[in-house]
Amino acid sequence: MSTSSHSTPQPSITSPDASRELQTTERVAAFNVLAEAIALLSQKAGSPVTGSAVRLEMGRRTYGGFDPKRVGYKRFRDFLDEAEQQGYVEIDHDRPGDVGLSIPGASPEVGSTSRMRSDLWKAFSDWNPRTSRYYDLNEDRVVTLPTEPAPLEPTRYAELRTRISDSPSGFVEIKPVSRQQQLAWMMDFALRVTDPEVSRILSEALKSDHPARYFVVVLRNFPNLLNRWHNTLRERVYAEALRWRDSNARLAGIQVDHVDSPNHPQSSRLRDEAASPSGRRAVESPQRQVHDLDVVQFFANQMPGNVTQPRSPLRQRLHEAIERMPESELRKITIPVGYLFEE
């Protein structure tokens, strides 16, 4: 009797050593992608770049494949710390909010204002007309309160009003950069953008009912320009703070830059405040990213020679489907950027 032998497929088992070797190889590749992303963004922006911008660029360069957990890290920040120890990157640990990244040995940004105190930053950049701001010379810090008193307001506001009234020499008022001035800065920035189509879209956004909001919404679709705007805004607010300090002899010893002192707490939200003059920033979501593109297209359609056409049923269905799709599926969609500006 003959017996036929059958070879039974054996499961593929990856040894722990092989798994570690693969992870090490991918980790080195990730460090190299990190360095390339920083170099590219730094060259375009002309200044140190932020961690969030670099992570976005790494996602683009790896077609969405980069994930800190894949190479053994729980968080992107842990990945950056290891990359710094390995000499791939330098991290600006003193920068408030989102960390600044640069290639080791690269020249630091001349005149960098990323170390501006967060209390002064907010006092000068937030144009809310219902808020009054003073520098308390005795406590060496900014204090704020509603401009108009209200019945049953918190005790701390009433006490502060009394202190300012009784000892006016101990306080110096801070006039924030006005909404009109910041919008003028935005328009100046828009006109200096070298891409004529993007420049025109930004200019149209600034003519809307909510110019500051839509200006930032449009910029979110162009990370390099958004980073440049952040730098421009910081530089100009910093200059205003210096002028304020130099205009009053009582402020001669005031530190405008961040100093390591409990009296000068640093806000981890500074980067977000720079992104929006209102100081508020919504949570990123795939739907908002899609809506941001709608805003860009809307203002592109406002340009001379463009006529807004109603959506066809097919386009409407596609638009609704995109809004329901998870981010993982959105990443698979390929849309030539030229369609954003098609005449």
Report the CATH number at residue 84. 3.30.420.610
- Stronger pLDDT, 278 or 191, i.e. the higher one: 191
72 and 25 within one domain: yes
Domain membership of residue 235 (yes or no) is no
**pTM of the predicted model as reported, rounded to 2 decimal places:** 0.50
Residue by residue, DSSP assigns 118-186 as HHHHHHHH---TTEEEEEETTTTEEEEEESS--TT--HHHHHHHHHHHH-GGGEEE-PPPPHHHHHHHH
Whole-angstrom Cα distance, residue 130 to residue 145?
Answer: 9
Residue where a domain terminates, one of 173, 200, 234? 173
pLDDT (tens digit, 9 = 90+) per residue, 198-219?
899 999 999 988 888 889 888 8
57, 41 Cβ separation under 8 angstroms: yes
Residue 190: which of 205, 177, 179 has the closest Cα? Answer: 205
pLDDT at residue 277 greater than cutoff 70: no
Domain membership of residue 253 (yes or no) is no
Q: Is 188 exposed, middle or buried (0-12, 13-18, 19+ CB in 10 A)?
A: exposed
21 and 90 within one domain: yes
79 and 21 within one domain: yes
Whole-angstrom Cα distance, residue 271 to residue 240?
Answer: 18
User: Helical H runs in the chain?
Assistant: 16-45, 51-61, 76-85, 118-125, 155-166, 179-192, 196-205, 211-219, 223-246, 270-275, 286-301, 313-324, 327-330
Domain membership of residue 254 (yes or no) is no
136 and 65 within one domain: no
Domain membership of residue 83 (yes or no) is yes
Residue 120: which of 49, 175, 74, 158 has the closest Cα? Answer: 175
Q: Which domain holds residue 335?
A: 286-341
96 and 21 within one domain: yes
Count: domains in the chain: 3
80 and 137 within one domain: no
Three-state secondary-structure class, residue 107: coil
Domain membership of residue 219 (yes or no) is no
21 and 91 within one domain: yes
Residue where a domain terminates, one of 55, 85, 102? 102
132-146, 188-202, 264-278, 307-321: range with lowest mean pLDDT: 264-278
Q: What is the pLDDT of residue 221?
A: 82
- Stronger pLDDT, 169 or 16, i.e. the higher one: 169
96 and 33 within one domain: yes
Q: Is 258 exposed, middle or buried (0-12, 13-18, 19+ CB in 10 A)?
A: buried
Domain membership of residue 37 (yes or no) is yes
Domain membership of residue 88 (yes or no) is yes
- Stronger pLDDT, 11 or 59, i.e. the higher one: 59
Helix axis angle for 16-45 and 76-85, nearest 10°, is: 90
143 and 87 within one domain: no
Residue in the structure block whose two tokens are 């020249």: 107
Residue where a domain terminates, one of 139, 173, 207? 173
- Stronger pLDDT, 331 or 57, i.e. the higher one: 57
pLDDT (tens digit, 9 = 90+) per residue, 61-112?
888 889 999 989 999 999 998 888 877 888 876 665 688 888 765 543 434 4
139 and 62 within one domain: no
